Chains A and B, each alone.
Chain A
């Protein structure tokens, strides 16, 4: 685990450490079981092609959960993920890199909570944002 990030040390415009994913079809099957989303376009090649897709595609909700991990890993252990989400703009495929990124857009205090807003997204190998979104986290403050 990297060292704890503190609210005081974060600036608007900072990019947080990236999280690189590359899904095997096996991972998609584990996700289907874990999430309860059994739509066949995510594990059955023939079914996916029949619906007009180029092949099996990665679940949008899995990419969203990757963004949840991106934020969790940045703020852990003392911080917390308050809110996160994305829109599903583009498809991602198994055995291709999905790079999760985030940039700080705002830092503020609400009561006793030290908060940071971020723009978050997943990027495909061509550099397109396939799941653009936003998140809010709490971070510990120094002193």
Chain B
């Protein structure tokens, strides 16, 4: 394999948490997400049905961890991360896993921090690639860890 794309700066950044991001779980956000997926369970749409089933409010559908707060001139979807400087031109989302510890409901405000857990270099069918493994923790305003997201990005 050619020279490593993993720089000393990247090595030093492994395990270091990025800036805190704030997301809001709103009833409208839950409904729009559920509608986009095609959910039919009314707990994702109707507050009364959700409460009858023991939830505090409209439930956030699987994979919905709230909407990041947008401000003009910012790119909240970057999660406070600056794009990696790599010799590769293209980037692919390799995959995502969600782990839940508590249900998220409308009204929750979630504070998240993301960190790189590992860099890997591989020779794949599409050529040499750099895989960045990232873990993001989601903590509700009352301090409860509600979810974790594990993802990987492929630069190639």
Question: A62 contacts B76, CB within 8 Å?
Answer: no
Q: Is the CB of B95 within 8 A of A85?
A: yes
Contacting pair B53 A30 (CB below 8 A) = no
The chain B residue with its CB closest to the CB of A38 is B77
Among the listed B29, B39, B99, B150, which residue makes an inter-chain contact with A69, where contact means beta carbons less than 8 Å apart? Answer: B39
B93 contacts across to A, CB distance below 8 A: 60-61, 88
> What are the residues of chain B within 8 A of A73 when measuring CB–CB?
40-41
How far, in angstroms, from A36 to B43 measured CA to CA in the complex? Answer: 22
Given the contacts A37-B77, A71-B62, A77-B53, A30 and B35 also touching, CB distance less than 8 Å: yes
Question: Complex Cα distance A27/B61, Å?
Answer: 16
A87 to B25, CA, bound (A): 26
Q: Mark A51-67, 1 if CB is under 8 A from B, else 0.
A: 00000000011101110
Contact of A107 with B by CB under 8 A: no
Chain A residues with Cβ under 8 A from B100's Cβ? 80-83
Q: B98 near A: Cβ within 8 Å?
A: yes
Question: What A residues does B33 contact at CB under 8 A?
Answer: 34-35, 65
Tally of A-B residue pairs with Cβ under 8 A?
Answer: 96
B67 at the interface (CB under 8 A from A): yes
Are A68 and B36 touching (Cβ within 8 A)? no
Main secondary structure of the interface of B (DSSP, over half): mixed
Which of A34, A66, A82, A134 has the most chain B CB within a 10 Å cutoff?
Answer: A34
Candidates B41, B77, B92, B103; contact of A36 at CB < 8 Å: B77
Can you name the residue of chain B whose Cβ is closest to the Cβ of A37? B77
**Distance in angstroms between the alpha carbons of A82 and B100 in the assembled complex:** 5
Closest chain B CB from A51 CB (angstroms): 9
Within 8 A of A (CB), among B59-100: 61-64, 67-68, 76-77, 92-100
Contact-residue bracket for chain A: 35 or more
Per the bound structure, the CA–CA distance linking A62 and B38 in Å amounts to 10
A99 close to chain B: CB less than 8 A: no
Question: Is A76 part of the contact surface with B, judged by Cβ < 8 Å?
Answer: yes
Closest residue of A by beta carbon distance from B49: A77
| Chain A residues within an 8 Å CB radius of B96 | 60-61, 64, 85-86
Interface, chain B (partner A; CB < 8 A)? 29, 32-33, 35-41, 43, 53, 61-64, 67-68, 76-77, 92-100, 103, 150
* 8 closest Cβ pairs, A-B complex: A85-B97, A68-B62, A87-B95, A34-B36, A31-B36, A65-B63, A30-B36, A34-B33
